[in-house]
Amino acid sequence: MARPEFGIREAMILALIVACGVLAWRTEAIAKERDDFGRQAIAERQARAATELSLNALKYQVASGQLNSDVHENIIDTKIADAQKRAEELEHQAETLRQEKVREANCVTPKSIRNAEGL
């Protein structure tokens, strides 16, 4: 009966098998770490994109609010100017009517009353 011998050749084969196993295990660990970093980078990019989108929406709201404010100010200024013109026209018409009514009444009005303001 032959006795199996465990020599240098077998020891080297065993060492190479162990080294291949360690190398495979390490390669798998590095690949897993790389995948984790990839997922983390994707999550960070998504968070950055969401932040930029929120910032752009906020910028739009501020710009829109400022534009609305400017438009409303212009409309109000225009309406105030129109109202002042209309008030002047109405005051002029009222004065004209007052003068006509005094003449139509054909009555003698004392000079002090005719020269008085606001009548």
Q: Give residue-wise pLDDT tens across range 77-94.
A: 888 888 899 888 988 888
Mean pLDDT along residues 69-83: 87
What's the Cα-to-Cα distance from 118 to each of 78, 83, 99, 106, rounded to whole Å? Answer: 28, 21, 12, 20
Mean pLDDT of the chain: 86
- pLDDT tier for residue 12 given thresholds of 50, 70 and 90: very high
The amino acid that residue 60 corresponds to is Y
Each domain of the chain, given as residue ranges in start order, spans: 20-114
What's the Cα-to-Cα distance from 96 to each of 30, 52, 89, rounded to whole Å? Answer: 98, 65, 10
* pLDDT attached to residue 106: 58
Mean pLDDT along residues 12-34: 96
Q: How far apart are the first and last CA of the chain?
A: 146
Contact of 119 with 99, CB cutoff 8 Å: no
Lowest mean pLDDT among 38-52, 63-77, 89-103: 89-103
Contact of 111 with 102, CB cutoff 8 Å: no
Contact of 119 with 113, CB cutoff 8 Å: yes
- Give Cβ neighbours of residue 114 (< 8 Å, ≥ 6 apart): 102
Percent of the chain at pLDDT exceeding 70: 83
